A and B are shown apart, each in its own frame.
Chain A
């Protein structure tokens, strides 16, 4: 067993894990963060995407011990004070899902994409989420949702600039 100290969705945890424990299993089984799902188990589908130290990663392809000293954000930590993150709201409003299984990973990957590229073209969105598979929607409404969120987040960013 190895002891890890990790912040997950703003809460500090100290836990013993086996070195072979995958981050996704730690999140789901030890912390009960079942909002992060396991889709393919082969690093392809992206359903288990979380942010580790600010970057989107596939939590089935990271060891829990590698998150030691780090900060993890899951889909459960995205909403602030009960208000949905603009990306969550956009997926809801644009109906960027059907069965919803890929949605947590889609949202986490899309938030990461906008962090680096706040105003992506449609092509850049499609390429930016190439690591996330959706078998229902054909991606059309997912792309629209990311576009809407980009617009809303840019608007609130410029609103903050004006307040300054």
Chain B
């Protein structure tokens, strides 16, 4: 299978990339790591007029410390996320989820920003970004704007990115206090997509759970927060019983799909079980 013919642009700066997107005609696709886009183009599910390849834009790579936040360049590969000391120190949840993405060949090419902009509901990183209250810095012809994770994921494979815009970096706020994090993923075989997964970020305080943030993967057309379970956990005793009780509300407000891998009601069951496991691990129990 070979993609349909396209024009190819390989800018070396963000400004050149924005120009290439503007000049690219009606149907422009942005190539980050290509590990989702190239398969889709091979299947001719996408046949863009122009492909703008970001792989030579050095300013989009790498992780930096910006005081109260980590800033992750959109073109930082999954491999580089896994080996980054700042992420290991401040946001180990990102590394834990990234480790489960596909396989090492795909992680060598695939990028953090590409996975978020693709916004596949079965992808692992959107729910993690949501649980960490990340912010998305978007460059466009009129300058830059910042969108919170809660507003970034709009619908199935659809984000707040407008035509002509480019995701340039992701800001992950550093967490103050005693936080634990865990990513619990359920799939059937190695390298497969999540059937359901749960990202949990928990702050413990004196035997209690002070705050819990729970991101759900593949429980609807976008990643979701398990708000009911978060509310039930706030102030709860850090015990197996209290966590199990709160986790029973993890599927409230979700709308999972039914497909070959699982029926919707089974996904709701998984969300509860995986939330219990993820919160228990994140709480250090």
Of B33-41, B62-70, B215-223, the one touching chain A = B33-41
Closest beta carbon of chain B to A67's beta carbon, Å: 11
Are A46's CB and B55's CB within 8 A? no
B4 contacts across to A, CB distance below 8 A:
20
Known: A57-B105, A66-B53. A20 touches B191 (CB 8 A): no
Partner of A130, one of B34, B35, B39, B191: B191
The answer on a CB contact under 8 Å between A63 and B108 is no
Is the pair A55, B79 in contact by a Cβ cutoff of 8 Å? yes
Partner of A58, one of B7, B8, B106: B106
**A41 touching B104 by the CB < 8 A rule?**
no
* A87 cross-chain contacts in B, Cβ below 8 A: none
Interchain CB contact (< 8 A) of B105 among A18, A22, A56, A127: A56
Q: How far is the CB of B176 from chain A (nearest CB, A)?
A: 33
List residues of chain A with CB within 8 A of the CB of B5.
18-20
Once the chains bind, are B105 and A131 in contact (CB under 8 Å)? Answer: yes
Task: Give, as a whole number of angstroms, the nearest-CB distance from B155 to chain A.
Answer: 25
The reply to whether A43 and B39 contact each other, CB–CB distance below 8 Å, is: yes
Residue in A19, A56, A60, A128 with the greatest tally of chain B CB atoms within 10 Å: A19
- A43-B108 Cα distance, complex, nearest whole Å: 13
Instruction: From known contacts A112-B104, A130-B190, infer whether A43 and B35 are also in contact, taking CB-CB under 8 Å.
Output: yes
> Is the CB of B42 closer than 8 A to any CB of chain A?
yes
- Is B172's CB within 8 Å of the partner chain A? no
Which chain B positions have C-beta within 8 A of A127?
190
Per-position 1/0 for A37-55, Cβ under 8 A of B = 0000111101001000001
> Measured between alpha carbons, how far is A20 from B31 in the docked complex, in Å?
12
Residues in B88-146 with C-beta less than 8 Å from chain A:
102-106, 108-109
CB-based A-B contact count at 8 angstroms: 80
Contact check, A130 vs B109: say whether CB atoms are below 8 A apart.
Answer: no
Contacts of B51 in A (CB 8 A): 19
- Shortest CB distance A33–B (Å): 18
Give the residues from 26 to 60 in chain B that come closer than 8 angstroms, CB to CB, to chain A.
Answer: 31, 34-35, 38-39, 41-42, 51, 53, 55
A90 contacts the other chain (Cβ, under 8 Å)?
no
For A21, list chain B residues within 8 Å (CB).
2
Residues of B within 8 A of A128 (CB): 104
Given contacts A25-B2, A41-B1, A131-B191, contact A63 B38 (CB under 8 A): yes
Interface of A (DSSP majority class): mixed
Distance (whole angstroms) from the CB of A142 to the closest CB of chain B: 14
Nearest CB on A from B53, distance (A):
7
Q: Judge if A80 is at the interface, Cβ distance under 8 Å.
A: no
In the complex, are the beta carbons of B108 and A57 less than 8 A apart? yes
Task: List, in ascending order, chain A residues with CB within 8 A of B10's CB.
Answer: 65
Chain B residues with Cβ under 8 A from A65's Cβ?
8, 10, 53
Q: Chain B contacts of A20 at CB under 8 A?
A: 2-6, 41
Residues of B within 8 A of A60 (CB): 42
Give Cα distance in the complex from A128 to B4, angstroms: 33
- Asked if A134 is an interface residue, CB under 8 A from chain B, the answer is no
Q: Report how far A56 CA is from B4 CA in the complex, Å.
A: 26
Interchain CB contact under 8 A, B38 and A131: no
Which residue of B has the minimal Cβ distance to A68?
A: B10
> For residue A21, which residue of chain B has the nearest CB?
B2
Nearest-Cβ distance from residue B70 to partner chain A, whole angstroms: 23
Contact of A61 with B2 at beta-carbon distance under 8 Å, contacts A66-B53, A112-B104 already known: no
- Mark interface residues in B159-190 (1 if CB within 8 Å of A CB, else 0): 00000000000000000000000000000001
Interchain residue pairs with CB less than 8 A apart (9):
A21-B2, A41-B1, A43-B39, A43-B106, A55-B79, A56-B108, A61-B39, A62-B34, A112-B105
